[in-house]
Amino acid sequence: MSIFKSAAVVVLMCVFGMTSAGAQKDVEESRDHPLVTRMPGYYIDGYRVEEFAGFDPTVIGGNEVHWEGKKYWISYARKGDATVASTLQIVRNYQNALKKVGATILGGDERRLASELRKSGAMSGVYIECFNEGRSYEVTIVEFQAMRQDVIADAAAMGNDIAATGKTIIYGIYFDTGSATIKPESEPALAEMTKLLKNSPTLKAYIVGHTDNTGALELNLKLSADRAESVVKALVAGGIVQGRLKAAGVGPYCPIGSNGTEQGKAQNRRVELVQQ
């Protein structure tokens, strides 16, 4: 091989090495999730966040699990010069870290792990899966939350519900956790309730607040009643005569979903308009 060919090979090797090193950086606008860090010697090669999505983790030796909420998917790849970590080493690292902060381990094996963590009143699912003998792995985290209800039933649909069943469930009325203050994004639902009542001047209604079973019964009964009263005040401010409305709170007494799941709890936290 001539000196020129040798030089060309060296140049190509240098360029290739620079490209590989440059590629071993976190993808743009990616970051570790605050719950867990990464294994040393790994970089983020894939990253996606969905505001509301479902996920079914593989739970070895356990029951079927379904998570819904804000979903983070983070893919890690080992840097070329990093110390080799086995799949079991990766799984055990995450398992120990999650146990330390109080997570419940749902199941797993030498390359997978599923767990749930309750912290500060919130719940998150964490799923780890390793590939290629530990050269890459993925972390999926779902922060459990109810889907924001963007589609609101109109006044006519509410009226049809009342005619058929004597009540209608009002989707789209929002409160912060533990609060009876109506959030501004509830305005479209309140507007349709007001329209229904104005279009049906003889209709008198109970405004009934419901909660899930989280927390003390007495507090939930009071919270549901306070929320119902807040809705009544909003409707009166919109022009509905006070005497047509009565507020009531039944706390967790009338669930429509299972309080054993986050999705069921979200269904149970609701406001209903019930014909008197």
Least confident span in 7-21, 55-69, 181-195 = 7-21
Torsion sign, CA atoms 197, 200, 204, 209: negative
Higher-pLDDT residue of 39 and 2 is 39
For the question of whether the overall pTM of this predicted structure is more than 0.95, the answer is no
Confidence band for 86, pLDDT divided at 50, 70 and 90: very high
Instruction: Say whether pLDDT at 276 is over 70.
Output: yes
pLDDT value of position 136? 96
> Which candidate, 181, 256, 168, places its Cα nearest to that of 211?
256
CB burial class (10 A; 0-12, 13-18, 19+) of residue 32? middle
Burial class (CB in 10 A: 0-12, 13-18, 19+), 103: buried
Residue 271 is predicted with a pLDDT of: 95
Q: Is the pLDDT of residue 58 over 60?
A: yes
Confidence grade of residue 144 (pLDDT, cut at 50, 70, 90): confident
CA distances from 84 to 72, 90, 112, 217 (A): 26, 10, 18, 52
Which of 17-31, 55-69, 127-141, 205-219 has the lowest average pLDDT? 17-31
Inform me whether the pLDDT recorded for 117 exceeds 80: yes
Return phi, psi of residue 28, to 5°.
Answer: -60, 135
Helix residue ranges, H only, 86-216: 87-100, 155-165, 187-199
- 174 with 183: CB under 8 angstroms? yes
Q: What is the DSSP letter of 175?
A: B
Q: What Cα–Cα distance (Å) separates residue 23 from each residue in 54, 79, 242?
A: 31, 10, 66
| Residue 91: band (very low, low, confident or very high) from pLDDT cuts 50, 70, 90 | very high
Q: Give how far the C-alpha of residue 8 lies from the chain's centroid of Cα atoms, to the nearest Å.
A: 54
**Nearest to 159, CA basis, from 210, 188, 201:** 201
Region of poorest pLDDT, from 135-149, 184-198, 230-244: 135-149
pLDDT of 274 above 90? yes
- Please report the pLDDT score of residue 185 as a whole number: 86
Whole-angstrom distance, CA of residue 165 vs CA of residue 169: 11
Question: How high is the pLDDT of residue 69?
Answer: 87
Q: Are 117 and 124 in contact (CB under 8 A)?
A: yes
pLDDT at 83: 85
CA atoms of 119 and 9, how far apart (whole Å): 56
Distance CA 112, CA 45 (A): 19
Angle at 195 between CA 194 and CA 200, to 5 degrees: 100
Q: For residue 146, name the pLDDT band (cuts at 50, 70, 90).
A: low
Confidence category of residue 43, pLDDT binned at 50, 70, 90: very high
Domains of the chain: 26-144 (no CATH), 155-275 (3.30.1330.60)
Q: What is the pLDDT of residue 134?
A: 94
Rounded Cα gap, residues 183 and 259, in angstroms:
24
Residue 39 phi/psi, 5-degree rounding, is -70, 145
Task: Assign 103 to helix, strand or coil.
Answer: coil
**Residue 10 in this model has a pLDDT that exceeds 60:** no
Per-residue pLDDT at 4 exceeds 80:
no
